Amino acid sequence: MEKVVLVTKEGTVHTHSSALFQPSKLVSELLEESCGFSGSHEPIPLIVITDAQFAHTVEFLTKNMAEPLMRIYTPLVKGLLRDSGIPTWAEEYIMAFSEASLLQLLETAHFLQIKT
């Protein structure tokens, strides 16, 4: 299984399966570029992502691999998110965050170019 090495803002090195980060356009493109030039992958610096943000992102991507989110149609149904077709795991995951933490997670997803 192909691995990807990512380095967070604090300099912590994380190694994961490249399949986990397939939803990230940024990581996918950098993997293609580095493999094309050297035949092996260079560590990918995630200069604005903290260790905590990275851990939450890995948790989300892992859960999403097991039970992918489907397209969410709007307007959302008033009440529980699962009433709008969002899996229970995603509703629980989202509701566990404060508004500020959720915004940081969205910034992380934006930086990584995750469209899920």
Q: In this structure, what CATH number is given to the domain that contains residue 76?
A: 3.30.710.10
From the list 43, 52, 57, the residue with the least C-alpha distance to 10 is: 52
* Domains: count for the chain: 1
Strands (DSSP E) found in the chain: 3-7, 13-17, 44-45
> Across residues 62-82, what is the average pLDDT?
79
From the list 52, 32, 34, the residue with the least C-alpha distance to 105 is: 52
From the list 15, 18, 14, the residue with the least C-alpha distance to 29 is: 18
Query: Residue 34 sits in which domain range?
Result: 3-112
Does 84 score more than 50 pLDDT?
Answer: yes
Does 27 score more than 90 pLDDT?
Answer: yes
Question: What burial letters (b/e) apply to 93-114, b meaning 16+ CB within 10 Å?
Answer: beeeeeeeeeebbeebbebbeb
Task: Say if residue 4 is exposed, middle or buried (CB neighbours under 10 Å; 0-12, 13-18, 19+).
Answer: buried
Rounded distance between C-alpha atoms, residue 7 and residue 15, angstroms: 9
Does 39 score more than 50 pLDDT?
Answer: no
Q: Say whether pTM exceeds 0.85.
A: no
Q: What would the two tokens of residue 20 be?
A: 């986990």
